[in-house]
Copies of this chain bind each other. A is one copy, B any other.
Amino acid sequence: MGLVVQKYGGSSVADAEGIKRVAKRIVDAKKDGHQVVVVVSAMGDTTDELIDLAEQVSPIPAGREFDMLLTAGERISMALLAMAIKNLGHEAQSFTGSQAGVITDSVHNKARIIDVTPGRIRTALDEGNIAIVAGFQGVSQDKKDITTLGRGGSDTTAVALAAALDAEVCEIYTDVDGVFTADPRVVPKARKIDWISFEDMLELASSGSKVLLHRCVEYARRYNIPIHVRSSFSGLRGTWVSNEPQGDQQMEHAIISGVAHDVSEAKITVVGVPDKPGEAAAIFRAIADADINLDMIVQNVSAATTALTDISFTLPKTDGARAIEELERAKDRIGFESLRYDDQIGKISLVGAGMKTNPGVTASFFEALTDAGVNIELISTSEIRISVVTRADDVTEAVRAVHSRFGLDSDTDEAVVYGGTGR
């Protein structure tokens, strides 16, 4: 039995009862013979309450002091969790991000992990303790200031510790049973995925799946740490994310992993761009300088009769206004005609490593959308993903149609059959 890293989110430790339930689960893993390292988030609404307090004393809370404030949240949950474990007769010690050796850069509120030096964790484990580590936080390499890792930071803490400690698996406990073939709120027939490759999971994460963040999966892939996403409420086996399926996971391997959707983006179309070298670069430089991440980018084929073209791209709605502002400012320099902004779009993505060698997949995908009467506005593909942009109103129907077409619905087993036909 090796070392296991378990991560529990805020909803799993929302109150004293939740903490006691989680403590029991941790002790069970210890009793199974594992060395156990636990990464924990702040309790339930703690972080929101702290942010609220900060806004009451200052309209612009950010930076170093904001990190110092927020990290109080995990300090509370981890100490309580250690107490609850001791109360069950097992030894536990809690560690801040700094004590656990989570070394980051100095970018407050969204620091990146530079190194993990978990000497104290290793000692605590060797002495027979369960180690509880504060998620989401670290200490900056140069100034020794407390930092936070930004959104989804606790998952990243867990994977980084698992890598540094050479763990067997990083278990991410959450309030759903695992990763599904589609969002179960949109597709009631969505099935839990037993195993998915890092690559497919990365595509799902960047296509709108919320269960794991791209950053965390990327870290796990780099260090080859298997992730097991599962529910802290049910105790059922969840979804394994790893390089290769193991044991009976093999049987479940389909060519399509799932369908993701995303309605958090907007589309900007730059109309009437001179069709000559350097124009697109100038547009995207203006956006990049404002620190805005673009998603899909499409340039229309120029009509032969004109020297102008249109460039469309999608980006988070929250960055929309700022992007328009930046482009307007650069309008004369770039020389386009006008901008169109559309925040009523949705994106549907089909993800699966199997599609590389199955040329029929793309055709089936578009047939499904056509049959459902869904109009396509943009298309973008990778080796293992097809994404389209549609009207936001069409997303639910489009996801269901594609999910069903590729045999992912839970009352069929076509997923496997489909892979077998080589269609």
Contacts and interface: CB of A to CB of B under 8 A. Distances in A.
A144 interface: yes
A288 interface: no
A15 to B, nearest CB: 8
A301 interface: no
Interface in A72-114: 72-73, 75-76, 78-84, 86-87, 92-94, 96, 99
Contacts of A80: 53-54, 57, 65, 69
Contacts of A294: none
Contacts of A54: 79-80, 83
B76 A94 contact: no
A66 interface: yes
A19 interface: yes
A12 to B, nearest CB: 14
Contact of A83 (B57, B84, B94): B57
A75 B83 contact: no
Contacts of A57: 16, 19-20, 23, 80-81, 83-84, 87
A71 interface: yes
A58 B146 CA distance: 29
A56 interface: yes
A60 interface: yes
A64 interface: yes
Interface in A111-138: 120
Nearest to A59: B87
Copies of this protein chain in the complex: 2
A66 B94 CA distance: 10
Given A57-B83, A83-B57, A71 B75 contact: yes
A92 B58 CA distance: 13
Given A80-B54, A93-B64, A144-B99, A69 B75 contact: yes
A108 to B, nearest CB: 12
Given A58-B83, A84-B58, A144-B99, A75 B72 contact: yes
A60 B87 contact: yes
A12 B53 CA distance: 16
A286 interface: no
A68 interface: yes
A50 interface: yes
A407 interface: no
Interface string A342-373: 00000000000000000000000000000000
Nearest to A62: B83
A61 interface: yes
Given A58-B87, A60-B87, A53 B66 contact: no
A140 B361 CA distance: 62
A140 to B, nearest CB: 12
A20 B55 CA distance: 12
Contacts of A71: 75
A58 B86 CA distance: 8
A51 to B, nearest CB: 11
A65 B319 CA distance: 42
Nearest to A69: B79
A89 to B, nearest CB: 11
A94 B68 contact: yes
A297 B83 CA distance: 40
A56 B16 contact: yes
A333 B298 CA distance: 95
A53 B81 CA distance: 11
Nearest to A94: B68
> Which of A53, A71, A92 has the most chain B CB within a 10 Å cutoff?
A53
13 contacts: A16-B53, A54-B79, A57-B84, A58-B83, A58-B84, A61-B83, A65-B83, A65-B86, A69-B79, A72-B75, A72-B76, A96-B146, A99-B144
Given A16-B53, A58-B83, A58-B87, 4 more contacts: A61-B83, A64-B93, A65-B79, A65-B92
Closest 4 CB pairs of A and B: A69-B79, A16-B56, A58-B87, A68-B79
